[in-house]
Amino acid sequence: AQKITQTQPGMFVQEKEAVTLDCTYDTSDPSYGLFWYKQPSSGEMIFLIYQGSYDQQNATEGRYSLNFQKARKSANLVISASQLGDSAMYFCAMRELHGSGNTGKLIFGQGTTLQVKP
Protein backbone atom coordinates (compact mmCIF):
# COMPACT_ATOMS: atom_id res chain seq x y z
CA ALA A 1 0.00 0.00 0.00
CA GLN A 2 1.13 3.51 -0.70
CA LYS A 3 2.28 5.50 2.29
CA ILE A 4 3.75 8.90 3.12
CA THR A 5 5.87 9.42 6.23
CA GLN A 6 6.76 12.77 7.77
CA THR A 7 8.92 12.20 10.83
CA GLN A 8 9.17 15.78 12.09
CA PRO A 9 6.06 16.77 14.06
CA GLY A 10 7.42 20.28 14.63
CA MET A 11 10.27 22.43 13.36
CA PHE A 12 11.65 25.86 14.26
CA VAL A 13 13.64 28.10 11.93
CA GLN A 14 15.04 31.58 12.27
CA GLU A 15 13.66 34.19 9.90
CA LYS A 16 15.71 34.46 6.67
CA GLU A 17 17.31 31.06 7.14
CA ALA A 18 16.62 27.93 5.06
CA VAL A 19 14.77 24.89 6.40
CA THR A 20 14.27 21.33 5.13
CA LEU A 21 11.10 19.37 5.83
CA ASP A 22 11.45 15.62 5.43
CA CYS A 23 9.18 13.28 3.51
CA THR A 24 9.61 9.63 2.59
CA TYR A 25 7.19 7.61 0.55
CA ASP A 26 6.44 4.03 -0.27
CA THR A 27 4.89 2.80 -3.50
CA SER A 28 5.29 -0.05 -5.96
CA ASP A 29 3.82 2.01 -8.79
CA PRO A 30 6.53 3.25 -11.21
CA SER A 31 4.42 6.29 -12.09
CA TYR A 32 3.45 8.65 -9.30
CA GLY A 33 3.36 12.30 -8.31
CA LEU A 34 4.52 13.98 -5.14
CA PHE A 35 3.11 17.20 -3.74
CA TRP A 36 3.76 19.60 -0.92
CA TYR A 37 0.95 21.66 0.56
CA LYS A 38 0.91 24.44 3.15
CA GLN A 39 -2.01 24.66 5.55
CA PRO A 40 -2.29 27.84 7.60
CA SER A 41 -4.64 28.04 10.56
CA SER A 42 -7.46 29.07 8.21
CA GLY A 43 -7.58 25.47 6.98
CA GLU A 44 -7.13 25.86 3.23
CA MET A 45 -4.57 23.58 1.58
CA ILE A 46 -2.25 25.74 -0.51
CA PHE A 47 -0.32 23.99 -3.28
CA LEU A 48 3.43 24.65 -3.15
CA ILE A 49 5.27 22.31 -5.49
CA TYR A 50 4.92 19.13 -7.56
CA GLN A 51 7.41 16.45 -8.62
CA GLY A 52 6.61 13.72 -11.10
CA SER A 53 8.32 10.36 -10.74
CA TYR A 54 9.85 10.63 -14.21
CA ASP A 55 10.98 14.23 -13.89
CA GLN A 56 14.73 14.40 -14.40
CA GLN A 57 15.26 17.60 -12.48
CA ASN A 58 14.21 18.63 -9.00
CA ALA A 59 11.19 20.90 -9.00
CA THR A 60 11.53 24.53 -7.93
CA GLU A 61 8.89 27.21 -7.34
CA GLY A 62 10.27 30.51 -6.11
CA ARG A 63 11.60 29.98 -2.56
CA TYR A 64 10.46 26.34 -2.59
CA SER A 65 12.49 23.47 -3.97
CA LEU A 66 12.00 19.75 -3.76
CA ASN A 67 15.00 17.52 -3.09
CA PHE A 68 13.87 14.39 -4.92
CA GLN A 69 15.94 11.25 -4.28
CA LYS A 70 14.12 8.47 -6.09
CA ALA A 71 16.33 5.59 -4.96
CA ARG A 72 15.87 6.64 -1.34
CA LYS A 73 12.16 7.33 -1.90
CA SER A 74 12.45 10.75 -0.35
CA ALA A 75 11.00 14.09 -1.41
CA ASN A 76 12.15 16.73 1.03
CA LEU A 77 10.89 20.30 0.81
CA VAL A 78 13.46 23.08 1.12
CA ILE A 79 12.24 26.57 1.96
CA SER A 80 14.88 29.23 1.46
CA ALA A 81 14.94 32.63 3.17
CA SER A 82 12.13 31.80 5.64
CA GLN A 83 9.53 34.45 6.32
CA LEU A 84 7.20 34.87 9.30
CA GLY A 85 4.29 34.08 6.98
CA ASP A 86 5.75 30.62 6.35
CA SER A 87 4.61 29.53 9.82
CA ALA A 88 2.02 26.83 9.11
CA MET A 89 1.44 23.09 8.83
CA TYR A 90 3.13 21.45 5.84
CA PHE A 91 1.93 18.24 4.23
CA CYS A 92 3.64 15.91 1.81
CA ALA A 93 1.24 13.95 -0.41
CA MET A 94 1.38 11.36 -3.14
CA ARG A 95 -1.05 10.94 -5.99
CA GLU A 96 -2.37 7.46 -6.44
CA LEU A 97 -3.41 6.91 -10.03
CA HIS A 98 -6.73 5.23 -10.62
CA GLY A 99 -8.17 4.18 -13.92
CA SER A 100 -7.58 5.95 -17.16
CA GLY A 101 -8.10 9.65 -17.32
CA ASN A 102 -8.91 9.90 -13.65
CA THR A 103 -7.13 12.32 -11.40
CA GLY A 104 -6.68 9.85 -8.60
CA LYS A 105 -6.69 10.42 -4.86
CA LEU A 106 -4.04 12.04 -2.70
CA ILE A 107 -2.42 10.20 0.18
CA PHE A 108 -1.15 12.59 2.85
CA GLY A 109 1.47 12.34 5.54
CA GLN A 110 0.89 13.41 9.14
CA GLY A 111 2.30 16.86 8.55
CA THR A 112 5.04 19.04 10.04
CA THR A 113 4.33 22.24 11.95
CA LEU A 114 6.83 24.92 11.02
CA GLN A 115 7.35 27.97 13.22
CA VAL A 116 9.47 30.84 11.96
CA LYS A 117 11.11 32.91 14.69
CA PRO A 118 11.78 36.64 14.20
Partner 1 sequence: DAGVTQSPTHLIKTRGQQVTLRCSPKSGHDTVSWYQQALGQGPQFIFQYYEEEERQRGNFPDRFSGHQFPNYSSELNVNALLLGDSALYLCASSPAQNYGYTFGSGTRLTVV
- Return residues touching partner 1 (CB under 8 A): 4, 33, 35, 37, 42-47, 50, 91, 93, 95, 98-99, 101-111
Q: Is the Cβ of residue 46 or residue 84 nearer to partner 1 in the bound state? A: 46
Q: How far is the CB of 102 from partner 1 (least distance, A)?
A: 6
Give a three-class secondary structure readout of the chain.
Answer: CCEEECCCCEEEEECCCCEEECCEEECCCCCCEEEEEEECCCCCCEEEEEEECCCCCCCEECCEEEEEECCCCEEEEEECCCCHHHCEEEEEEEEECCCCCCCCEEEECCCEEEEEEC
Residue whose CB is less far from partner 1, 21 or 95: 95
Q: Which is nearer to partner 1, 57 or 103 (CB)?
A: 103
Closer Cβ to partner 1, 21 or 93, answer by number: 93
Query: At closest approach, how far in Å is the CB of 67 from partner 1?
Result: 20
Smallest gap from residue 72 Cβ to partner 1 (A): 21
